[in-house]
Structure formats: C-alpha cells, structure tokens
Structure 1
Amino acid sequence: MKKKQILPVLLSSTLIAGSFAMTPVSAQPQDASAPVNVQAQKVWNEKANVPVFVKEKFAEKKESSNAANAVDYLEKNEAKTGIKNAKQNLKVKNVQEDDLGMTHIRFAQTKDNVPIEGSEVIVHFNKNNEVVGVNGHYNKIAEEQGIQTTASIDSESALEIAKASVHAPEQLSYEPVSETVVYPFEGENILAHKVNLTFLGDEPGNWFVFVDANTGAVIDKYNAVLHADELKTKDHKGVGQGVHGELRDLHTTLETKPGQGTSFKLYDESHENVEGIYTFDHNTGEIFENNSSSWKDEYHSPAVDAHYNSETVYDYYLEEHGRNSLDDNGMAIISYVHFGTDYNNAFWNGRHMTYGDGDGEFMVPLSAGLDVAAHEMTHGVISHTANLQYRNQSGALNESFADVFGALIDADDWEMGEDIMAPDAKADGRTALRSLSNPGKFEVSEERAPYGNGYYPEHMDEFYDMPISVDNGGVHVNSSITNHAAYLIGEQIGKEKLGQIYYRALTVYLTPTSDFSDARQAIVQSAVDIYGEGSEEVAAVESGFDQVGIY
C-alpha cells in the first residue's frame, strides 16, 4: 500500500551573525538502508558541487543592486556562504529585475576564467538595495584544486570526436556549439570541450558531449531531446479544423508574389516584439501553405493544432508572467509536424518543437494536446532560465516543471496528454500519459519498471533508483513525485497562484544542478517573496512537499 501522507519533519536553522544559514533539506527515500544511485554518483562529484542557501534575516544594505556590490557581499561573508575568492572566481552571467522590485545577479563559477559546469550562484537584492539571500551550487574542490585549464585538443578536433561518438549525420539541423568547461566527473574536475549537436532523423538528437580537452576521450554524453522574388505579406485571420474537429481561429499570413498569385501560410508575425510563430511540414521542410484561409484538410489538422497551441502558450507566458517568448527576448516559436512514421512522441530539441503523428492506436497526432505543446515549449523556457541539466533529479525537475506548466496552461484538469490518446489506449485504461493528481494510476514502461514498483511514484518512498542509461536517470518517472507536490499545492491555493510561485522559482532561484531539495527551498522562498512569511500560500507549499517526502 502506497504511503499517501506522512507527518512533516521540523527543520533546524542556526542563527549566525543575525542571519539564517539554512542547511540542505532532505529529499531522499525514507529507508536509509536503500541503495544509492551509483551511476549518478559516478557522473557528478556531488560532494564538490555543494548547495548554497543563505537567507538574510537582517539585510545588508548596499548603495545599489549591482554585480560589484554582490561580489563585495560575498567577499565579506565567506563564512556564511562558503564561497572563496568571489571576485576572482565568479563571472556575471545575467542580471534580472523583477516586478517585486528585487534584483537577482546570477554568477557562473570559473577556474582561471573557464566556467565550471553546473556551478552557479545567485545574489538577491530587495528593492531597497539590501542583500536578502544567496543560493546556488558552488564547487569547492575545483576552487581549491590545481586544474590544468589549457587545452591540448582544439575545439574542431573535439567536434569531430563528439559527432562520431553519437553517430551524428553529416547534415546537422543547426551549427554545432562548443565551449571549454571544467567538468566534474567521477570525483575529478576535468577540462573538457562541451559540444552541443542537434539533428533530426530516425533518432533525433540534442546531444551534449564532453570531450577531454587534453586526451580527446569522451568523458560523458547525454541526449537532451526534450525534438529573390519580391514578396508582399499581410497578416490574415483564418480558421482551421484541429485533430479532434475543433474549429480554431488562426493568425496566418497572406503572401502575394508578382505573376504567381496569392497563398496563405501558417506563420504569424502580427505580435509586437516577437519574431513570429511558424509551423512547418517536416515532410517538405516548408511552412504550411494553402490556397485559402480555411484550413480544413485532414493533412492540415495537426498543423492547425500546433499553430493554435503555440500562440496560446505564447499568450500565457506574456499575459501571466510578462515573458516575451521562450527566451524573453522575442525568439521565433517554431513547430514541425508530421515527423517520422507512426511516431508516438513530441520533443523540444533545444531550438524548436517537433510532433509525431502517432500510430493511431496508442496516440493520435501529438500536436492535438495543448498540454503537450505547453510542456515542450516550457522546456524552451527552462533552457533560457534555470537550464536544469537533463539527468537524474535536475532532469526530473526539468520534466516536472514542463508538466506543471502544461497542466496550468491546459487548465481543465491535472492530467498530461489526455487529448492525444487513441481509442485502443483508452480501451486499455490509458487515458493520459501521466497524472499529477494520481500518479500511481498509470504504469511506467517495461524498461523502467524493474527499478521501482512498476507505477509512477508520488512519494520519495517510491523513488526509482535508475542508472543514467535508463531514462537519463529517471527524468520522466521521478518527476511525478514533484508533479504530485505541485498538484497538492495547487488544490489549496489555485492554479493561478501556483503558476506565479513556480515561475518565480524557475527563473529566479533554480540553477542547472538543482535537486528536489533545492526545488523545495526555491518554491518556498518564491511563495514568501510574493505572499509573505506565514501566509497560507507558504503553508500550502510546505505541506505539499511534506506530503511527498521532500523535507
């Protein structure tokens, strides 16, 4: 029998020099004798990359909320934060001002000006230029070690090694991206070329490959597929019929070419300050085109849903959170439909959404699900904010935040993918992909089942201890634990408040290697920021995480 609720555990805080130095909360299975995730420990030097969470009770006031004053605070408060040589080792990554008047300065930790993978620290100022908190992860061992930071292998050679290691096709979807980093791996900190390769094909890839910059060996890799004529154009409103027969109002474009007449296309450049919303046919590689503004052909229906849902998700982030597209800088929102043959999946490949048509038995075209579109596009938001690494607990958080916002944007229920299930799946009782309200009602895949009880978990007692080779360490399975916490919180305070709290945690507090414990701290702190200490919203957040065993 699954444990539905357990009593909360009180945390202790130590008062140091007028501030609370909060120790990491526990987010482990209750059974202390349970085996640990050996693969995760092999990959990440977790003892080196320690969490930082300092909440100032008596704030330290500065003349202004800037990077120099943030560094000054860190230099003076090494005992609280554990961060040494902040001026030398931290480089500004970005500065964010929010609607509460707070300023958040995010630093990347470096070694001899080389970024240390996954190590970021954020200093938070209130509207009075007072430092009120510091959080993130800091690699103490890398800071103290002597590390060779001059590469013997050049980036071009590393690129070819990376391509060979993942069997990348000659034709990549985007230019590969490479940067030199210090990579924590198997207890060491190794200079590496981090190569990102993105491609489609039978096995789509958004690979991150780490090549030892001195030996050329592939240290680690993981797939983060989360998949001259004069031309006059005019914004045009059309109508289309979706996969399930709904009529959709569409923003499209009317193109006119001299001597070639007019055509209607599924792209929308009518929104201010955003590049546009574009929907492509994967079979042709071209934007969908029609000879009228009525898109009711069966072949068009997946594109109609993809286009409509993209605008719906764009509108949500803009209206609810003031976010201008996925990168908050007006990037184009691009979708491809009709991918593959009987392809029962959809993915974000780091640049755009891709939807399969399903096999008609288990799934219908996946663009039919607004929550699916919201999930995939939220992966884009995540990659431009916390950039949660797609493996183990940070990867499960990546999936969980995508699910949560999927359920917030498609607000009718707490299910994921209920609109993409085909008749045979429903007949077998599979009415959705996942459930935030009742995770255990659905089975996991045969590959994942041996690592747990065979069903999606809703409590840390049911945590799946999976190797990195299976589901990137359980990103699609263990995410249901934090999903269920979000459901429990949302049922108490409503979806609108839940969205405000979770968006703040994602964009202000979380860092690439955040785990479930960090997520609890970030989400609690976000509720405090918005609604105040002792509020019913804070109590709801704490209760939700208590009930799933994340303390």
Structure 2
Amino acid sequence: MKKRTSLVLVLGLTVGAVLPMSATVAAEKAPYDVTASNPTKQFGKDAKVNWKKGQAVPSFVHGMLSAKAHKDQHAIKQFLKDNKELYQLDADKDLTLLEVQKDELGSTHYDFVQSVQGIPVDGAKFKVHTDKDGIVTAVNGDVFPEASSYFKGKLKANVSKNDALETAWKSIDLTKEETETNAVDPTGKEVEDTVEKAELVIFKNRNNFHLAYKTNLQFIQPYPANWVVYVDAVNGNILDSYNAVADGATTGSGYGVIGDYKTLNTYYQNSTYYLYDVTKPMNGVIETRTAANQSRLPGNYSVDSDNKFNAVSQGADVDAHYYAGVVYDYYKNTFNRNSFDGNGATLRSTVHYGRNYNNAFWNGSQMVYGDGDGVTFRPLSGSLDVIAHELTHAVTEYTAGLEYQNQSGALNESISDTFGVFLDKGDYLIGEDVYTPNKSGDALRSLSNPSLYGQPEHMNNYVNTTSDNGGVHTNSGIPNKAAYLTISKLGTSVSEKIYYRALTVYLAPRSNFSDARAALLAAAADLYGTGSTQYNTVASAWSSVGVY
C-alpha cells in the first residue's frame, strides 16, 4: 500500500510529515568553540547584534560597521579579512560571491554562499550591505566556520546523483512514474508535471556536517508535494526530509465565486476565448486552467465561446485569473517586481482541483485551488488574500528562501499572511471570503487577534511541536501579531516598504524570529533612519510579542 499524506485544512499548504532521520554516519563532534570577539567592541557600542544559540558567528549585525568606503567586491572581501576574528572565515576560500545588487536607495548588497572545497553549505547565505557612500551598514546570514575544518581530505561522493534521486523516491514510498499525470496542453503536447532535482551540498545535521545531495521531488498526485530530501552522498542514508509545498488580448468579463462582476484580460483564438493574459510587461503570461475536478496538473485551459464567463461553475476560474492579475500589478506597481521571480515568469493557476478539495497551495511552480466541500470552504480562489498569500510564497522562495520548517517556516507563513493584508487593506482576517460559507464572521487566521483561531501571539506561548513542520501554521501567529501592531500604527504604505525590503534584502533561508526583528529594523533604518518613528514602532511591535 502506498503512503498517504493527510491534508491539513489550513490556508495554502498541504503538510507532509517529516520522515524519521537515520542515524548519523559522521563521528560526533563537540559544538564549535565560540571564541569570537565582541562585535559591539569591534564596531562600536551602537552596533546592534543578534546571536543564535550554538552558532559561532552573529546572525545579524547592523550599524555603522566601517570607517571607510567599500565600493566593490574586493573591498568587501578585505573588510571580511579585517574582521576575520569575528566571522572566522577565509573570505577567499570559504565564501563564493553569488550576486551584487544596487537598490533604489543607492545601497549595495553583496550576497555570498559559504562553501567547502567549492561545494555550497546548505542554507549558509551570507550578506554584506553598504549604504550609498560605501559604508558597511549590515552583515547578516547563517554561516558555520567549523564546516571548513570538519572534513579531512578531499570530498568525494560515492553515491551518484541518479542513485540519490532513487533513494529519495523510495524514502517517500513512491516512484516518479506513479506521480506523472500525462497531462497535455490544448495543442496535444504533453506537459511535464513531475520535477526532480538534486544538488550536491554540505548539510549540517545537529553538530555534524555531511556531504549530501539535496533533492527536490515536486508532483501533484497522489498528493501535492515539494519534498526536500537530503541523501548522504557517502553512504546513501537519508539525513532529513520535509514536504515544502507552500500553501498558491481581449477584454472579457465574468462573475466570481461570490457573484461579483469582473472584467478579464483574455485571448481569442480559433473562435475560443482563453483566460490567458498577455497584457502585462512580463516574459510569460497570466494563465488559468482547470483540472475539471481531477487530481492532475496543469489541466486544460479555461475557455468560453462568447468571452462572458458567467456560468456559476466558472466563478473559481474568473477569480483565480482576475486576482492573479491584481497581485501581479501590486508587486509591479509597488516594488517594480516583475512576477514572483523578478524576471516576468508565467503566473499559472489551476482551479477545480480534485473533488471537494479544501485547500489551496503553491507547489513550487504554480498555484492550485480546490473547490472546497461547500461547508468548510467554498472555492478557494474566491479570496484575494488567499491568492496574495500563495503568490507571496513564490516571492519568498525567490528572495529570502525561508526554509519551510520551524521558525523560518512560521516566518514564511507570516510573510504570506502579511502581504495578503497589504493587498486586502484594512482587513486583518485571512480567508474569510471563502471559509465556512454558511457561517459569517469567521476566518482561518487573524493578524490582530491570533488567539481567536488557536495561534499564540507571544513567545511565552510558543508551541514546540514536531508536527506541521515544527508548527509553521501555529507559531506564525507571533510574527503576525507583530505585523498587525506595525501596520495599525504606521499604515500600509509605510509598512509594506519595510517588509518588502526586509524580505528581499535581509532575510535568509534560516532566519528565526529574532533575525526577522533585526531585518525589519535594518529595513526601517535604511528607509526612515535609526531612531525614527517607523524604526521605533517596529521595535515596539516585536518587543510586544516577546521577541527582543
């Protein structure tokens, strides 16, 4: 019998249980000796510093960190060499520059990844930020200096990439063939809807480091999944795994799920109108498809003969298409971000997924919406904040890359909820338009009152659990409350700028709540100045939820 993964009735995510870890194969080593100098002594008493328990390097340092300008990557590497006592890394050997970006404030951001013998350390992103004058103002990320000396001799994989992928499939009790749906597009061309990837990385598991393959298995049947499975590249053991599915021209018209009239950007071809929008300045398109109540992706295009999508059964199609355009326009007009990847990628939605399916999710490449069972949910594409939530998961994937477990996963959820509120201004409820259609006044979550829906809103009530990838849907209530306190004081237009800058500039894959506070404060300082009303409001909001 094949494994079945239960689906949790929460916004935008189906949650797979984490598989048991195998015994570690590397010899146990003591935690790295933390002997770094005091950053406040090194950079001055005004430097603001975050540490994570057990890590030898601060995860976030913010302030005026250099006395002279650093105008290029060579100067930045010299800065790191000058501060080697603190960061404990060889800037030439241990750090690989991924990207240099200059933003609208004139700040420059240098993104590095830590590597060992040229192999990236999983999750070890390291960022150095300078202001318009080249003064270093922040250094953040998660690096592990002990990784460089952990391995003796040259690293060599005894397991091939193909064997690692086979092991990953076996670990979830499925084969690739069992997940393929053989879907075709309107031209009859087969669409590949199962994706498998494998990358050689250095993986930190407790106090041990492993040469491992980080594999991704993305599929839609027999359940939606974006499995991340770490396979030891030396002996083939499974080191860790989790399901990272993140909860997802002509002018026509139609009526949405709740009967509201909408104009639609459509496409005419061969006497048929498609929900296919080519009007946006993007490389791809905004397209909407239907699974016709089957469990297959991407499904067939949503079409109509007279460009009037007025049938009740088309309401989910209308809303998915229209709201995807609203979210695209929001990111483009507010932040000049062209689609979720910043490069104009296609926004694809599939509606009518499954039968009585009470969920919506982003599967790593597109949005998927069920019709609900009419009791717990009506069609989930009928809510703007649901669609904003799903597409923000995609933005997060292409920016901060917040790992979907524990505090970083709860932040991932909270960021999606928060941007849902930014788009649905003045409404701090999530999913109320589609949740329990026969019962008024309730919702999935509330940013203003998380406890109303069973979420903690202070660190005193943080839930330690192994379920739901470490409680990502539960503990998101804490950063959600901080977001509410920020938005209610500063308003949407100020708050969204702070949050977007923190997400795209400062947050990193393994950022925790404390890092989020630091990232938002750094963003507020960049935009409005340290000690400004905006800066102090953010600080107060996070202090109010017990994150200092």
Consecutive unaligned residues of structure 2, counting only runs of 5 or more, are 1-37, 181-192
Give the aligned partner of residue 357 of structure 1: 371
TM-score, normalization: structure 1? 0.86
Offset at 1:132? 2.1
Give the aligned partner of residue 549 of structure 1: 546
CA distance in 2, matches of 1:208, 1:51: 27
CA distance in 2, matches of 1:206, 1:63: 40
Contact residue 197 and residue 208 of structure 1 kept, 8 A: yes
CA distance in 2, matches of 1:143, 1:518: 24
Offset at 1:271? 1.1
Query: Counterpart of 2:64 in 1: which secondary structure?
Result: strand
Q: How does 1:190-201 map to 2 (within 5 A)?
A: 190-201=210-221
Larger mean CA deviation between 186-195 and 167-176 belongs to: 167-176
Query: Counterpart of 1:72 in 2: which secondary structure?
Result: helix
Q: How does 1:304-315 map to 2 (within 5 A)?
A: 304-315=318-329
Give the aligned partner of residue 61 of structure 2: 54
Q: Deviations over 1:379-407 (max 9, x none)?
A: 00000000000000000000010110011
1:263 corresponds to which of 242, 257, 272? 272
Give the aligned partner of residue 138 of structure 1: 143
Contact residue 64 and residue 136 of structure 2 kept, 8 A: no
Contact residue 306 and residue 368 of structure 1 kept, 8 A: yes
Give the aligned partner of residue 167 of structure 1: 173
Contact residue 48 and residue 141 of structure 1 kept, 8 A: no
Q: Structure 1 residues 423 and 491, CA, compared in 2 at 3 Å: closer, same or farther?
A: same
Offset at 1:273? 3.0
Question: Given the alignment of the two structures, is residue 119 of structure 1 paired with residue 118 of structure 2, yes or no?
Answer: no
Q: Structure 1 residues 17 and 338, CA, compared in 2 at 3 Å: closer, same or farther?
A: closer
Q: Deviations over 1:350-369 (max 9, x none)?
A: 11110111110011010001
2:282 corresponds to which of 273, 293, 313? 273
Q: Deviations over 1:208-260 (max 9, x none)?
A: 11001011111111000116xxxxxxx1001111000011111111113xxxx
Q: How does 1:389-468 map to 2 (within 5 A)?
A: 389-424=403-438, 426=439, 431-442=442-453, 455-467=454-466
Give the aligned partner of residue 222 of structure 1: 242
Question: Given the alignment of the two structures, is residue 210 of structure 1 paired with residue 216 of structure 2, yes or no?
Answer: no
Query: Counterpart of 2:60 in 1: which secondary structure?
Result: strand
Query: Counterpart of 1:489 in 2: which secondary structure?
Result: helix
Give the aligned partner of residue 376 of structure 1: 390
- The structure where strand makes up a greater share of residues is 1
CA distance in 1, matches of 2:239, 2:348: 33
1:479 corresponds to which of 476, 481, 485? 476
CA distance in 1, matches of 2:383, 2:43: 52
CA distance in 1, matches of 2:237, 2:430: 40
Query: Counterpart of 1:59 in 2: which secondary structure?
Result: coil
Q: Structure 1 residues 512 and 543, CA, compared in 2 at 3 Å: closer, same or farther?
A: same
Matched residue type, 1:346: A
CA distance in 2, matches of 1:149, 1:47: 25
Q: Once the two structures are aligned, what percentage of the paired residues are identical?
A: 41
Q: How does 1:273-312 map to 2 (within 5 A)?
A: 273-283=282-292, 285-312=299-326
CA distance in 2, matches of 1:135, 1:540: 22
Contact residue 21 and residue 53 of structure 1 kept, 8 A: no
Q: Structure 1 residues 23 and 55, CA, compared in 2 at 3 Å: closer, same or farther?
A: closer
Give the aligned partner of residue 24 of structure 1: 50
Query: Counterpart of 1:190 in 2: which secondary structure?
Result: strand
Q: Deviations over 1:398-441 (max 9, x none)?
A: 001011001111113101001111334x26x7x10000001111
CA distance in 2, matches of 1:208, 1:525: 31
Matched residue type, 1:55: H
Give the aligned partner of residue 85 of structure 1: 90
Offset at 1:13? 7.9
Q: Structure 1 residues 517 and 224, CA, compared in 2 at 3 Å: closer, same or farther?
A: same
Contact residue 375 and residue 405 of structure 1 kept, 8 A: yes
Matched residue type, 2:203: Y
2:164 corresponds to which of 155, 158, 177? 158
TM-score, normalization: structure 2? 0.86
Offset at 1:472? 0.2
Give the aligned partner of residue 334 of structure 2: 320
Contact residue 49 and residue 119 of structure 1 kept, 8 A: no
1:188 corresponds to which of 197, 200, 208? 208
CA distance in 2, matches of 1:267, 1:478: 38
Matched residue type, 1:119: A
Give the aligned partner of residue 232 of structure 1: none
1:106 corresponds to which of 95, 106, 111? 111
Consecutive unaligned residues of structure 1, counting only runs of 5 or more, are 1-11, 27-45, 228-234, 257-261, 443-454
Offset at 1:146? 1.9
2:518 corresponds to which of 503, 521, 537? 521
Q: Deviations over 1:36-77 (max 9, x none)?
A: xxxxxxxxxx6257543233426343462x322221211111
Matched residue type, 1:466: T
Larger mean CA deviation between 168-177 and 498-507 belongs to: 168-177
Q: Structure 1 residues 131 and 58, CA, compared in 2 at 3 Å: closer, same or farther?
A: closer
Query: Counterpart of 2:394 in 1: which secondary structure?
Result: helix
Query: Counterpart of 1:23 in 2: which secondary structure?
Result: strand
Matched residue type, 1:249: T
Query: Counterpart of 1:153 in 2: which secondary structure?
Result: coil
Q: Structure 1 residues 238 and 274, CA, compared in 2 at 3 Å: closer, same or farther?
A: same
Contact residue 274 and residue 325 of structure 1 kept, 8 A: no
Query: Counterpart of 2:105 in 1: which secondary structure?
Result: coil
Question: Given the alignment of the two structures, is residue 493 of structure 1 paired with residue 490 of structure 2, yes or no?
Answer: yes
Q: How does 1:494-513 map to 2 (within 5 A)?
A: 494-513=491-510
Contact residue 61 and residue 128 of structure 1 kept, 8 A: no
Offset at 1:187? 1.7
CA distance in 2, matches of 1:354, 1:167: 24
Query: Counterpart of 1:278 in 2: which secondary structure?
Result: strand
CA distance in 2, matches of 1:68, 1:82: 17
Q: Deviations over 1:269-294 (max 9, x none)?
A: 11123311011112371111110110
Offset at 1:324? 0.6
Matched residue type, 1:329: N
Give the aligned partner of residue 3 of structure 2: none
Contact residue 13 and residue 20 of structure 1 kept, 8 A: no
Contact residue 114 and residue 181 of structure 1 kept, 8 A: yes
What is the alpha-carbon root mean square deviation over aligned residues?
Answer: 1.8
